[in-house]
Amino acid sequence: MSGTKLRVNLYPSGGKKGAGGKVLIILPSDDWSSFLKKAGDKLSVVAERIFTEQGGEITALDEIAANDKLYVTFNGQPFRIINDPPPSTTTITVSSPSVPSPEQLKMVIRITRCIIFLLY
């Protein structure tokens, strides 16, 4: 990491996008282990892995830029962000057409025969 401190935003992985965030300052003297420890302490978890908002895993401090939104995984969980719920949906029930009665079928056959007779 360069000789300047970085301010980043930390979020717990598995939560709603942008919820539960904390600010962390990464000092020039920090190494990866101390950063993971500080990140975990900030979120009251044992930090295991760090990810960008888009899901890219961060594995070194020099991959972090100022004001990055970083997601911390813990307890062996995979990276995950819960986005806003999808817009409400409407359920439409479509019933199948009823089966015609024998009388209705006889009528359709008679009409069809008449049409065929008229066409020839």
Q: Cβ(62)–Cβ(1) under 8 Å?
A: yes
- CATH placement of domain 6-73: 3.10.20.230
CA angle 11/68/64 to nearest 5° reads: 110
Residue with tokens 């895993």: 57
- Note the pLDDT of residue 81: 77
Q: What is the pLDDT of residues 56-113, one digit of tens each?
A: 999 999 999 999 999 999 988 888 877 755 556 666 666 666 777 788 878 888 888 8
Q: What is the mean pLDDT of the chain?
A: 84
- Note the pLDDT of residue 63: 95
- Note the pLDDT of residue 20: 78
pLDDT at 16 over 70: yes
